[in-house]
Structure 1
Amino acid sequence: MKTSPRLESALKKLYTAFHSNKLNPECNKHCAVGNILDNTDIWKHLSDHHGSIKLNYIGTVHQRIGRKFNGYSPLELLEIEATFLKACGYQLPLHYKNTKPKNPTDKIILFKGLSDVIRILCEMDGIDNVMDYTKLFEVKNQKAFYDIV
């Protein structure tokens, strides 16, 4: 399966962050988007609230002029982050009164978040979800439809 350079880069960064324990939903530099943007928090200025999918004035300007951050538009970045936080169990936007997971850096919680992020990244690039393993179980005439090699 052929992937875009932005997807390939994002997947590598998220994989590395997950396995090196540098993925934290509550940190702007170490959340899903923070990792995609090389552990910077520049993206937080695109919206007024962490987890919001509504662009603020700065975000709207960048969106309208076609600005991309490591290949992703401001709206795409906000959608990626909101997807990650929701899948990790957060009520959005992030606020101390809203519900959140008891242990946000638990590997199972982070894996759920990353699975949804990878799904949406693939959708954004118009390709099949690279984590979809259901094809491995497809059969035709009582035999596996795909070979694992």
Structure 2
Amino acid sequence: MNTSQRLENALSKLYNAFHNNTLNPECCLQCAVGNICNNTDSWKHFSDLHGSLQLNYVGLVHQRLGRLVNGFTPQQLLEIEATFLKGCGFSIPLNRKGTKPKNPTSKETLFKGLCAVVEYLCALDNIENVMDYKKIFETEEQLKMNFTTLYT
């Protein structure tokens, strides 16, 4: 499967963050986008609220100028972060009154968010979800049926 360099880099950073326990949805440096952006928080200035999909003035300027941060537009970065937060069980944008998981940094919570982000990143690059495990469990009979359906 051919993947883009930006997807390879993003997946590698997210994988390392997950396994090194440096993935934290409530921290702009250690969230999904914070890790993709090399643990910087410069991306947070594209929006007024963490988890918002609305670009602010700074974000709109960068978006309209065609600027990319590690291969992603400002709008894509906001969408990646919103996907991660929702996958972890947060209501977006983050605020004190919104819903949040009981343990935001548990491996289970982070894995759910990570799966959502990986699916979104793959969709951005028009490739199959690299974490789709269903094909592993296809039986030989199902594969024959799929092959027969394709060529009849």
Shorter-chain TM-score bucket reads over 0.9
Cα deviation, 1:41-90, whole Å, max 9, x if unaligned, reads: 00000000000000000000000010000000001000000000001010
Structure 2: state its 5+ residue gaps: 145-152
- Structure 1 stretches lacking a partner, 5+ long: none
Residue 135 of structure 2 is matched in structure 1 by 135
Alignment of 1:1-149 (within 5 A): 1-139=1-139, 142=141
Structure 2 distance, partners of 1:104, 1:144, is 39
Change (3 A) 1:52 1:134: same
Q: Return the offset for 1:144.
A: 5.1
Residues 143 and 78 of structure 1: CA distance in aligned 2, closer, same or farther (over 3 Å): closer
Asked whether the equivalents of residues 88 and 110 of structure 1 are also in contact (C-alpha less than 8 Å), the reply is yes
| Amino acid corresponding to residue 69 of structure 1 in structure 2 | V
Percent of aligned positions that are identical: 63
Report the aligned-residue RMSD.
Answer: 1.2
Structure 2 length as normaliser, TM-score? 0.91
Deviations 1:129-149 (A, max 9, x none): 000111123345x2656xxxx
More helix per residue: 1 or 2? 2
Q: Which protein shows a greater Rg? A: 2
